[in-house]
Each structure stands twice: as structure tokens, then as C-alpha cells.
Amino acid sequence: MKPIETVAIVGAGNMGSGIAQKTAQEQFPVQMVDREQQWVERGQSTIATLLGEAVERRIFSEAQVEEIQSRITGVVGVENVASDTDLVIEAVFEDFDVKTAVFNTLDEACGEETILASNTSSLSVNALAEATARPDRFVGLHFFYHPAKNRLVEVIPSELSSQETIARVEQYCKMLGKVVIVCKDRPGFVVNRFFVPWLNEACLLLEEGVGTTAQIDAVACEAFDIGMGPFALMNLTGPPIALHSTNYLAEQLNTPRYTGAKSLQELVDAGVMWEIDEETDCEAEAAKIISERLLGQVFAVSSQIVAEEICTMEDVDRGAKVGLRWMNGPFEIMNAMGIKEAHRMASAYATLAEFDLPPFFAIKAETGHGWEFNFVDVFQTGGVATVRLNRPEAMNALNETLVTQLGAVLDDLNADDSVSTIVLEGAGKAFVAGADVKFFVDKLRANSFPDIYEFTANGHAVLNKLENSPKTTIALTTGLALGGGLELALACDYRVGTRRSQFRFPETNIGIYPGLGGTQRTVRICGVEAARWAVLAGNFVDCKTAHALGILTHLVDPAEVTGTVDQISSDGKPANKYPGTPQDSQHPVAAFSSSFYSNENMSTLLSGSCPDGFDVEDRNVSRQLKSLSRTAPIALRLASELLDSAVATGDDLDAGLALELSNLADIFGTSDALEGLSALIEGRRPTYTNG
């Protein structure tokens, strides 16, 4: 499958310029197209302003901003889009006739292989596809505002979209670091299907006199654990958008309840925003009505989305958490309050809206059990089974559920004679961004270390299913792999990365040590000195360094990933998985590590001093000393001892892993472990006491 490499965005307004900016940030050359030079320049000015703010916040350097802007080419006239562009995304006004006119021009201007996409939040993708000359190479995309910042995108295939088109566009979105929901073409798609009526329901509550805008916002924030209520959100995005969207849903779904509330219509006609005062307190009865009405509406519509097979309940929750930045998704909220109670609220709303709830909701409510979520998906093509860790809202962090599900999937695949190769990949921008730190903090505060040990031991068992698999195992680490995620990758036979790959062991900085084989497999892969550089100091490892050290076995262009996986699958398991030395000993990091982190220097480094023969003013040396000084002392010592044990145990990996597990009680029994882990989730720098 040929990946998307060149992109054009038609429309240089806020959405179009935002998509162009994000595309350029992720190293794609992009054409930003509009009908007049002044609109192209306005889009470039908008991008320059946002990137300038990013420089002020130290997200990008001035040099990086120049590179990003150099990838954006302004184009006047849709007819002037380069004919060999891989993907053209239309992002003009939400009007069917305007959009189809753009596509008619693009059909003439673009080559046969160009994929066309419409950034739409409401229009029928099937209808738009039929208006083009290439319905098989057409999809809908729904980027969320602001597209350079919001991580969610809905991919909506038409009924005629080819599987290759869908796969290529999904891959492009993933390369933007987006969380992708592939959904059916139904009005509102996923998020707007439940979110837009939620906004309108707040307006109806206001009309009924149940509460003021401030009171309804306050109750909504508490009920949904969110930062902004419906009226504040409408003021942010614009009431006209809410009115247009809710009227569209009312018409398309034949649900009069969704027709724009009189108060909303009057507000839009007057061209003003909602007035929200500071008086948020209201009577308990009013608060109950507001809370139950808004919750019931979301629960009812979310169940419809799943019943209509628009997407899974996991994706509904994902949409709420990533796209709307809710703390929990609708189905998670139902689990927290109890399915029976959630069904009661949904039924009450369904009566108001005059529609029936899907039967499965009532059946589930009677069981007394919560919704069960699946975070591991499997796709098989020939002998290659791809296992996707699908928890992108948490950057695929390893929790009890994901680890257990992964273990069960690996058992099935290892026993399946039709499978020759297992490929692990992560949904979204990360492969796996470590373990779920909150789990450790909660267990430590509850004095429940046995739960931590059980989770870690189970993690070892799951990784051993990769280690000892009769299949060829590949970690597709084309994004971020931190801590436990890097350890998961190291258990595989091969690790394939691209320029977007980045790795780190952050554990000693947060009061613990890598506990899922990181102290053992790293040494066996790249040698103890390079492992000390990576594990003890917690250095970020870029793609080229990772390849030189052997953390990546293959570093390829994004276009070569699929071919590389096919070649590895054909070659089979490696002759020597653990060479114990860097792939490139002349690489600057490998060479520096071999001398700085030598056995002779370790006692000096662990005492916080600079070894003889090294200049403390040298940039590399000072950086290492600074990094080591910020670690938890006990974690640093234990990690160093475990790295040494990897050398001592040699070929007996099981013995080394057993030592890693046996030290868990010592490290998690320290006050520094709780302090470091707590500081991470609280967003502050830890203060270690060596206790």
C-alpha cells in the first residue's frame, strides 16, 4: 500500500489552515489552496500567529517554525492543485453545492490516483461521493477544532470507498498523531450525534426555566466532570454552528426534539452570545432535573450509535474523551453510576424525544453488570496478524484490562497455525506510552503492594508470550514508546521505526526502575554501557540513535513500513536476537556511553560525581550528570544493580527477569516511589528524600 506523501487543503480559513499547519508539522509537503491570493495570505498569517505562540510556549524553536512554514505552498485557484497530489482535503463552507463545485474542479485537475476527501461535520458523505467522478477514491473526514491541536478525527467512508482508500487515509491521519474513529455515514457521525442535541437540550432547559445559563453550565460540569458547560462551549465555537447542526440532525433523523430551541434561534438572530453570570447555585431539585436530562440524552443517543453500528462503544467514549476532552466517555459514566440507573435516565429522555431505546440497553440493565470494553483489536492478512493496542485516549498506556486482553490474544495467535507473524502496533500517535501510573499511585496509597506485584508479574507473563512465541514477532514502533511500552517492544524479535519514532525509560526519574524486562533485555540487546545511558539517566532516544544502539532493528521511511514487515515475515525469526552490543559502535552515543558509563566509572557516577578524565563543562557530560542528579537515589542504585545482573546472568534471561521481579517490594516500599509517581500525574517536579 502506497502511503500518502503529498497533500493539498482547499480552503484557507480556520479549519483549512489548521489542517495544513498540522500536516506540515508532521513533515508532509502541503498546498494550501483558496480562490484569491488574499485568502491564501490570510491563512498563512493565521498559521504564522499560531506557530509564533508555539515558539513563545517553547513547543517549537524558530528554526522548526521556519521548516514547517517552508513545507506550506500557497496556491490560488482549485484548478491549480498539482495533478500528482496524493490526497486533497476540501475544507470550505458547509454547503453541499459549494463543496460539489470544488470536487468537480478537482476531478479535472487531479490525476486518477488522487484521493479526494471532504472535511465535513454534517453533510452526507455518500451524497458527496456520488457527486464526484471517483467515488471509490473518496472519504469524509471530520477534523475537530482546532485541527492543529485537537487529536480526534472521524474518518467516514462512503459506501463505494475502496478498502485501500480507507486504509491510506487512516494511515495519513495516524501519521498526524490523530486518534482515528472510522465510522458509518450517518447524520452527526459519532461525536456530534450525541453532543449537538446535548447543547440544544441545555437551551430547552433554559426555556423551561429550570435553571439559568450559569446554573445549567455548573450542573453539567459536575455531572460530566468537564471544564466547560454547554453555554460556555457554544460561546466558544459560535451559537450559529450549534443551531445549524441541531436543525440538520432534527431533519435528517426525523427527531423534532432536536429542532433548534427558540432561545437559541433568537440568540443567533440577534447576533449575540449567551450571557453567563457568576451565580451558579441552584436548588437540589432543579440540579437533579438538569443533570438527569443531560445525562439521559447522552446515554440514549450513545446507545443508538452503537445499535446502528456507526462505531463501537469504545469509540463513542474515545470521541468524548479526545474530541470533547471529557474526563470519561458516556459508557464509562454509565458504568460508574450503574447501568440500571443510566437506563432509567435514558428511558426518560427517549420518552421526551419520542424514540425507542435499543433493546440491548434494557437487557444489559437487567444483568446488573457494567459495559465491558475491548482495547485490543486483531486483523489478519495472509499469515500476518496485526495486533492493535487501541487505547489512544490514554496513549495506549498499559493497564490491567489491556494487558490481560493482550495476553489472551497472544495465546490464540501463538496456537493458530495460519499465523506466521505477529505485528504489534499502537492506535494514535504512540506505540505505548508506558504503564498506567495512576494504578500504581492508587495501590500505594491504599497500601496494596500485592496488586502491583500481581500486575507486574502478569505483565512479565504476557511479554514472555512474545519472547517465547513460535511466530516471528514485530513491534511497529512508529510513534512514541516509553517505559513499559519500550519494554513490550524489546520482547519482540524485531522493532521497526520511522523518523517519528522516539523512546525513553523514564522510571528512575519517577522513583522506580523498569520492571517489565527493561533492565534485562536492554543490556542483552545493546550492551551494559549503552543500557546504562538509556535506563539510568532516562535519556530520550531519537530514531537514529535507537537504530544505532539496536533498540530499533529497522529504521525506514514511512512508505517502506509495509514492505519491511513483509520482508521480515518472509525472513523469519532472527539468528541472534540479543547481540549484546550496539549495531553501530561508532555512533556518538554508543561511543560516549562505552567510556562514560564504563564499569570503572559507575561508583563515581552513583555518588553524584564526575569521573576522572571527563570535563564537567562538556555539554554531553554535564547533561548526563544533571539527568542522574534528578533521579531517585534508591531507584538509580537498584536499576544499576539490575543492569549488572543482566551481565551476570548472561544467556539465562529468565534468571534476570526473576531478579527484576524480586526487587519490586524494595522499590515500591520507598517513599520516593510514591513521591515520584504522584509528582508525574500531578504535573510537578518530585522532591526525593532517599527514603
147-167 pLDDT per residue, tens? 999 999 999 999 999 999 999
Task: Give helix then strand counts, H and E, for the chain.
Answer: 31, 18
Q: Is residue 691 part of a domain?
A: no
429 and 410: one domain? yes
Q: Is 247 part of a structural domain of the chain?
A: yes
Instruction: Assess whether 436 and 519 both reside in one domain.
Output: yes
> For residues 235 and 243, is the Cβ–Cβ distance under 8 A?
no
Q: What is the DSSP pairing of strand 554-555 with strand 494-497?
A: parallel
User: DSSP 3-state assignment of 644?
Assistant: helix
| Three-class SS state of 179 | strand
Domain range holding 77? Answer: 7-182
Q: What does the angle CA 116 – CA 187 – CA 137 come to, to the nearest 5 degrees?
A: 15
* pLDDT confidence of residue 472: 98
Same domain, 468 and 332: no
Q: Cis ω on the peptide bond leading into residue 554 (within 30° of 0)?
A: no
Whether 113 and 229 map to the same domain: the answer is no
Q: CA–CA separation, 515 vs 191, rounded Å?
A: 38
Q: Is residue 262 part of a domain?
A: yes
**Mean pLDDT, all residues of the chain:** 96
Strands 494-497 and 472-476: parallel
The residues facing 9 across adjacent strands are: 32, 89
Query: What is the arithmetic mean of pLDDT over 183-202?
Result: 97
**Spatial distance between the Cα atoms of 501 and 191, rounded to a whole number of angstroms:** 30
Instruction: Name the domain boundary from 182, 204, 237.
Output: 182
Element (H, E) at 157: strand 152-157
Q: How many Cβ atoms are within 10 Å of 539's Cβ, its own excluded?
A: 19
pLDDT bracket for residue 397 (50, 70, 90): very high
Residue 142 is among the residues annotated as catalytic for this protein: yes
Cα-to-chain-centroid distance, residue 401: 18
> What is the residue whose three cell numbers read 470533547?
324
Structural domain contains residue 688? no
On whether both 348 and 384 belong to a single domain, the answer is no
Q: Are residues 259 and 229 in the same domain?
A: yes
Domain membership of residue 485 (yes or no) is: yes
Mean pLDDT, rounded, for 40-60: 95
Please report, for residues 15, 109, 178, 585, the alpha-carbon distance to residue 148 in angstroms, rounded to integers and kept in the order given. 9, 27, 10, 39
Q: What is the CATH number of the domain that holds 177?
A: 3.40.50.720
Q: Indicate whether 667 belongs to any domain.
A: no
Q: Given the residues 17, 118, 119, 121, select the one marked as catalytic.
A: 121
Read off the pLDDT band of 429 (50, 70, 90): confident
In this predicted model, what pLDDT tens digit does every residue of 466-480 receive, in sequence order?
A: 999 999 999 999 889
Instruction: Count the domains in the chain.
Output: 3
Q: How confident is the model at residue 2 (pLDDT cuts 50, 70, 90)?
A: confident
Residues 483 and 360 both lie in one domain: no
The answer on 522 and 445 residing in a single domain is yes
Tens-place pLDDT, residues 314-350: 999 999 999 999 999 999 999 999 999 999 999 999 9
CB 132 within 8 A of CB 107: yes
Last residue of a domain, one of 321, 339, 367: 367
Whose cell is 458547509? That residue is: 94
Query: Which one of 26, 90, 94, 154 is the catalytic residue?
Result: 154
Q: How does DSSP assign 368-393, residue by residue?
A: TPPP----EEEEEETTEEEEEE--GG
Task: pLDDT band for 1, please (50, 70, 90 cuts).
Answer: confident
The predicted pLDDT at position 368 comes to 85
Same domain, 269 and 393: no
pLDDT at 630 (0 to 100): 96
> Do 489 and 624 fall within a single domain?
yes
Question: In what order do the strands lie in the sheet containing 421-426?
Answer: 376-381, 384-389, 421-426, 472-476, 494-497, 554-555
List 7's β-bridge partners, or say none.
Answer: 30, 87
Is residue 122 pLDDT above 90, yes or no? Answer: no
- Tell me: the pLDDT tens digits for 356-376? 999 999 999 999 899 999 999
> Same structural domain for residues 381 and 315?
no
Q: What is the mean pLDDT of residues 542-562?
A: 95
The pLDDT value recorded for residue 559 is 83
Rounded-to-integer distance, Cα 85 and Cα 110, Å: 7
Structure confidence by residue, pLDDT tens digits, 515-536:
999 999 999 999 999 999 999 9
Is 154 an active-site residue?
A: yes
- Residue 177 burial by Cβ neighbours in a 10 Å radius (0-12, 13-18, 19+): middle
pLDDT at site 34: 97
Cβ atoms of 268 and 245 within 8 Å: the answer is: no
438 and 567 belong to one structural domain: yes
**Whole-angstrom distance, CA of residue 536 vs CA of residue 415:** 38
User: Is residue 691's pLDDT more than 90?
Assistant: no
